[in-house]
Structure 1
Amino acid sequence: MRRLLLTLALMTCAGGVQAQRFVLAKTALELHDDAGRTLARHATRVKRMDQRSDDGRFAVLQDADSGRIELWRADGQQLKRDAAWPAPALEVEQLCLYRDPQGLLQLFLLGAEGLSEQWLIHERRALPVQRLATPPQPSACRVRDAEAQLYVAEPGVGLWALSADAERPGRRLLLAEAQLGEKALNAKLDAWLAEHPAAAPAARPPIVLPTGQTQPMREAGDAADDPAIWVHPTRGAQSLILATDKKRGLAVYGLDGRERQFLPVGRINNVDLRQGLAYGGRMLDLAVATQRDEAALVLLGISPAGRVSELARLKTTLDDIYGVCVGRNAEGGLDVFPNDKDGRVQRLRLKLSGKTWQADVVGEFRLASQPEGCVVDEAHQALFVGEEKRGIWRLGLAVPGSEPQLVIAAGPGLTPDVEGLAIHPQRGWLVVSSQGSDSFAVYDIKPPFAQRGTFAIGTNAALGIDAVSETDGLDLAPANLGGLYADGLLVVQDGHKRLPQGPQNFKLVPWAAVEKAVQQRR
């Protein structure tokens, strides 16, 4: 009888430490001790299997007859089937397990024709993470958790390495050409892994979990970009998220993530807003977005009930308008700070004459390379601007003619691109998207602009919400929005939507979780 011995797992018994392992017999799944004695046996035909010992002794296998995927555990000296899931649509050629840096269990199902699936296994549920292209007809696969790397053997071709982290998809890399058959190639894969020790895992920032997410964009690709939070004047839980779909327009979501409105205003990139602005004897809530096709600003009004409507299109003198932020000026009106990909940043003063809106240029400066994210510190009359490759600049707004100063350089904890910026005025903190490291950095808004900490947004497996990566824009509201957001809310764009794979969206994080993560690093 031909048997396939897989990896060993350790267990503690009354008699001391004893090794156990799952073994595939021709017509059974067996549990063996270190002496090769059969402790338990379940009659079945198994097509593929992988096993682990990092959370007790368990194995994931595919039943050869039904095609379904099953999770088995060693329960003392007995076999126990914990869960079973319907057969996947693809023909599974290999399967292998992966424990991600957050400690969550994932499974790769490698298809015979090169189309494969990645699942998250959590509390007896199998959640689809993504579909991915892999080498066809694989003869073996291994995952090194510390490297988040999937290794695949393709007979007649060689050994491949792929990213196991769905949030950081990378290019497929051919490690070694080897025109060998299945058995010899599998041996070569094991030898290659033994000869190339796994790299030590990089230090990771504290993880916070999203507790909500918006509906995905209408189309695939790079569509979602920048959010702004509108706080309901009397009922915080009815607050809204304005978010740019940079292919089509502006989406408006409730805190439950459902779309309440969509304004097809064209290819807008960034959006920002302020509430309670004084114009024409009235108090108005206004949002401003950059319209790239028209090199213009789209001015939007928000009613007390949360209805968003377009008020005006305001042409600018910028050639390739990109990011924008807004701030309340001394007269109680709105100053708008759009920027251009060529490095120019303008200060425009928004005015209302009768029913006509206009934006007058009152200042301009230029950075050496492309900016985008920015935020106004109204309490200290300052503008923070992110230059994507270099860091964060600060410009004093109270004194005309002031020059911007580079106050936070890209480096440890802030990996280019520098993207979204937001301020928590009560804490005196600046929150920045460190896009290149899929994380967020927190700084003091006063000199010497010390870094308070960093954090990343992980997978909330219980709610089926994926982690956050490659964030563009973000916003925070330091207000009581009720429930989980009683201490405030952070909203971030997610560059890769998983669980399941789909168009980009925005994730919601309780501010209290951010506070805890930042304090953890001090």
Structure 2
Amino acid sequence: MKISQLYVLIALATCGQALAADLPLTPWAPKLNAEAVAFLPGSTDRLAAGLRDGLQWLDSTGAERARLPGSFSSLDSRAAGAQVLVASLDNNRQQALLVSLDPSTNTFGTPLYLPARDYPVNGLCLYRDGAANLFVFLVGEEGKGEQWLVGNAATLLSEPQRVRGVPLPPSAQFCQVDDATNQLLVNEQNVGWWAYPAHPEAEAKRTPVALFDNPKREAGAMALVPGGVVALDPKTARLHLFQHTGERWVEHASLTLPGLKEPEQLAINGQHVLVRDDDTGRLYQGTLNWQAKPVTAEALLPEVAAVRQTDPVGRQGDAADDPAIWIHPEQPHKSRVLGTNKKQGLLAYDLDGKLLQELAVGRLNNVDVRPNFKLGQQTVDLAVASNRDRNSLSLFSIDRQSGELREAGEVPTPLKEIYGICLFQPDSGELYAIANGKDGTFLQYRLSAPDGHARGELVRRFKVDSQPEGCVADDQRQRLFLGEEDVGVWAVDARADQPATLTSVIKVGPQLHADVEGLALYQSTAHDYLVISSQGNDSYLVLDAEPPFASHGAFRVGLNAAAAIDGASQTDGLEVTALNLGGPWGKGLLVVQDGRKRMPEQTQNFKFVPWAEVTRALKLP
């Protein structure tokens, strides 16, 4: 029997008015006993997973081309160079696996198994991100879901790495990932279909694709098509075609599956449709032509990877916030990274991320460092942090030989809710602390300690219209950069005796996404850059540090599979130095706070990125 073709013309102007029609089906491979079916990427060949017949590669007529013996269920695949990577569930071992298929030799490779889980796995799907990292999502009972890193490009890891848990609906069985839009689609049997962000650094949230409150409906398997997803309702034996339009999913058409009593599995490749009827165990095929408006994918930003990370902070929740880099005056490789824990105090790490000191002095938010401060008769380096417990400035001396920190006093402020802090040290050697509050007020203090006791003289006050936080001073040019979280970045004269006239550096918009958080200066003999944490899209923007503050683009911190270090996201504070600290830090070091610690999931920490990687990613001069 000749396969009929169905042309479903989708007029986007009639959003919300789904077209209905029948999808003629014909039997395919009637002797094949398969629990799950899928198409090979870019081919009309098929994959089948069976309880007795193993994993099979079949051509479009149903003739077998390769087989991996065993008992399998659930299927997904991705192209990997000249090979195909196939994911499935091994029923005998009750484990997910990934195996390569070589079309040139008609052979399956050696399976790579994920560790056995402590919950039943109902289904799985693959995801490849913009950096070519390959992941497997596991869909388990009682809402348990997980994301595992299994490879990069065409290479599989020797050991899969668990990235994060994903809270899923309790009755989920099926999932699919749209690599282009980084969306994980999951069913909730008696409710509908949901979309989740698939990127490992994304926030764990969901948006509805289609929901219903009707016992005569059921949310089943899904298959991706250009511009949307086809979802199967087993109870009504109907396919529903959804398009992602703006912030919403809209149903544009539905297709009945005549003659099928219990359709369960679904696979689509181009115009080719495969569906399995659980009532008879038979497979059917049809032809679909859905003309949908392509969805514009978000432009990919270049990624860099951290090569070190700190020990996780000792408090749960939103704790780690802002780093600073102390430079050892004689032995740069002994430099330290300071970090605030806004539920605990000040932390000090070596350049490998090992925790060296922990000063439990209260809820510190931001921290900055400058050298050569006169503390009585001593010359020390000084760290200053904003203390939210007492709305004050907490001062810490740093021994210039050992790097050891000690409490060195406190400067009270009249701020109602102190927030950010940065230091300014002009050529005259004086040291100023610029603190801000959540109401937009900035206070500039001249710090001194002639008798060994810290003092702060208020020398200037100014204000922005809304909540600020990050700031950084360019000591050489006597310029202060400050961030207004929902507005952008401003420049102002840092000198206390000058008017605080704000000049716009960059506004929140296409490049900079609110909240504007950490600010840092990379200053070398060749180039000076302003680095900004664009928290709203988990990126970092690099501008010239001089007018007209030209942009060099943005980058993200992605995962480092070889070092088992996850990426960074939801970054608050950051710091950078251009000095050669040795090892990977020959061109300087960038430190960013990581608001979502993955792989494994732990409390927040700080990531260390070689500046050379940023130079490469953005092609900086």
The TM tier, using the shorter chain, reads: over 0.9
Tell me which residue corresponds to 2:120.
91
Looking at structure 2, the residues matched to 139 and 132 of structure 1 have their Cα atoms a distance apart, in angstroms, of: 14
The alignment partner of 2:553 has SS state of strand
2:489 to 392, 413, 422: 392
Tell me which residue corresponds to 1:119.
148
Which 10-residue stretch deviates more, 73-82 or 363-372? 73-82
Q: CA deviation at 1:487?
A: 1.1
1:423 to 516, 521, 532: 521
Q: CA deviation at 1:146?
A: 1.3
Alpha-carbon spacing, 1:420–1:353, altered in 2? closer, same or farther (3 Å): same
Q: Does 1:365 pair with 2:462? A: yes
Q: CA deviation at 1:209?
A: 1.2
1:8 to 39, 61, 75: 39
Q: After the TM superposition, which residues 109-508 of structure 1 pair with which residues of structure 2 at under 5 Å, given as runs?
A: 109-122=138-151, 123-178=157-212, 179=215, 180-181=217-218, 182=220, 185=233, 191-192=241-242, 195=252, 199-278=295-374, 280=376, 282-303=378-399, 304-398=401-495, 399-426=497-524, 427-508=527-608
Q: CA deviation at 1:503?
A: 1.1
Which letter maps to 1:112? E
The alignment partner of 1:375 has SS state of strand
User: Do the aligned partners of 2:51 and 2:73 also contact (CA within 8 Å) in 1?
Assistant: no
Looking at structure 1, the residues matched to 114 and 553 of structure 2 have their Cα atoms a distance apart, in angstroms, of: 41
Looking at structure 2, the residues matched to 52 and 478 of structure 1 have their Cα atoms a distance apart, in angstroms, of: 41
User: Do the aligned partners of 1:158 and 1:185 also contact (CA within 8 Å) in 2?
Assistant: no
Looking at structure 1, the residues matched to 493 and 605 of structure 2 have their Cα atoms a distance apart, in angstroms, of: 34
Q: How many residues align?
A: 515
Looking at structure 2, the residues matched to 402 and 126 of structure 1 have their Cα atoms a distance apart, in angstroms, of: 54
Q: CA deviation at 1:224?
A: 0.7
Looking at structure 2, the residues matched to 518 and 49 of structure 1 have their Cα atoms a distance apart, in angstroms, of: 38
Tell me which residue corresponds to 2:282.
none
Tell me which residue corresponds to 1:14.
none
Alpha-carbon spacing, 1:198–1:134, altered in 2? closer, same or farther (3 Å): farther
Which letter maps to 1:150? L
Looking at structure 2, the residues matched to 238 and 86 of structure 1 have their Cα atoms a distance apart, in angstroms, of: 39
User: Do the aligned partners of 2:424 and 2:494 also contact (CA within 8 Å) in 1?
Assistant: no
Instruction: State the structure with more CA Rg.
Output: 2
The alignment partner of 2:340 has SS state of strand
The alignment partner of 2:592 has SS state of strand
Looking at structure 2, the residues matched to 191 and 458 of structure 1 have their Cα atoms a distance apart, in angstroms, of: 33
Q: Does 1:73 pair with 2:73? A: no
Q: Does 1:33 pair with 2:59? A: yes
Q: Does 1:52 pair with 2:78? A: yes
User: Do the aligned partners of 2:163 and 2:601 also contact (CA within 8 Å) in 1?
Assistant: yes
The alignment partner of 2:166 has SS state of strand
Q: CA deviation at 1:202?
A: 1.0
Which 10-residue stretch deviates more, 381-390 or 281-290? 281-290
Q: CA deviation at 1:69?
A: 2.0
Tell me which residue corresponds to 2:89.
62
User: Do the aligned partners of 1:142 and 1:152 also contact (CA within 8 Å) in 2?
Assistant: yes
Q: CA deviation at 1:279?
A: 5.1
Looking at structure 1, the residues matched to 350 and 461 of structure 2 have their Cα atoms a distance apart, in angstroms, of: 36
Looking at structure 2, the residues matched to 10 and 293 of structure 1 have their Cα atoms a distance apart, in angstroms, of: 57
Which 10-residue stretch deviates more, 410-419 or 297-306? 410-419
Could you give the per-residue CA deviations for residues 83-102 of structure 1, whole angstroms, max 9, x where no partner exists? Answer: 12331112111111111122
Looking at structure 1, the residues matched to 585 and 616 of structure 2 have their Cα atoms a distance apart, in angstroms, of: 14
Alpha-carbon spacing, 1:321–1:360, altered in 2? closer, same or farther (3 Å): same
What TM-score does the superposition give when structure 2 sets the normalisation length? 0.79
Q: CA deviation at 1:282?
A: 4.2
1:22 to 47, 60, 81: 47
The alignment partner of 1:156 has SS state of coil
Q: CA deviation at 1:213?
A: 0.6
Looking at structure 1, the residues matched to 46 and 330 of structure 2 have their Cα atoms a distance apart, in angstroms, of: 61
The alignment partner of 2:109 has SS state of strand
Alpha-carbon spacing, 1:190–1:50, altered in 2? closer, same or farther (3 Å): farther
The alignment partner of 1:356 has SS state of coil
The alignment partner of 2:618 has SS state of helix
Q: CA deviation at 1:189?
A: 6.5
Looking at structure 1, the residues matched to 294 and 198 of structure 2 have their Cα atoms a distance apart, in angstroms, of: 14
User: Do the aligned partners of 2:125 and 2:175 also contact (CA within 8 Å) in 1?
Assistant: yes
The alignment partner of 2:242 has SS state of helix
Looking at structure 2, the residues matched to 104 and 510 of structure 1 have their Cα atoms a distance apart, in angstroms, of: 21
What stretches of structure 1 of length at least 5 have no aligned partner?
A: 12-17
Which 10-residue stretch deviates more, 146-155 or 398-407? 398-407
Q: CA deviation at 1:53?
A: 2.5
The alignment partner of 1:57 has SS state of strand
User: Do the aligned partners of 2:375 and 2:451 also contact (CA within 8 Å) in 1?
Assistant: no
Q: CA deviation at 1:422?
A: 0.7
Q: CA deviation at 1:67?
A: 0.9
Taking only aligned residues, the RMSD between alpha carbons, in angstroms, comes to 2.1
What stretches of structure 2 of length at least 5 have no aligned partner?
A: 1-31, 152-156, 222-231, 244-250, 253-291
Looking at structure 1, the residues matched to 313 and 170 of structure 2 have their Cα atoms a distance apart, in angstroms, of: 32
Alpha-carbon spacing, 1:87–1:505, altered in 2? closer, same or farther (3 Å): same
Which 10-residue stretch deviates more, 248-257 or 162-171? 162-171
Q: CA deviation at 1:410?
A: 1.7
User: Do the aligned partners of 2:519 and 2:531 also contact (CA within 8 Å) in 1?
Assistant: yes
Looking at structure 2, the residues matched to 298 and 518 of structure 1 have their Cα atoms a distance apart, in angstroms, of: 37
Which letter maps to 1:97? L
Looking at structure 1, the residues matched to 140 and 296 of structure 2 have their Cα atoms a distance apart, in angstroms, of: 30
Percent identical: 38
Looking at structure 2, the residues matched to 442 and 189 of structure 1 have their Cα atoms a distance apart, in angstroms, of: 47
Tell me which residue corresponds to 2:17.
none
The alignment partner of 2:614 has SS state of helix
The alignment partner of 1:288 has SS state of strand
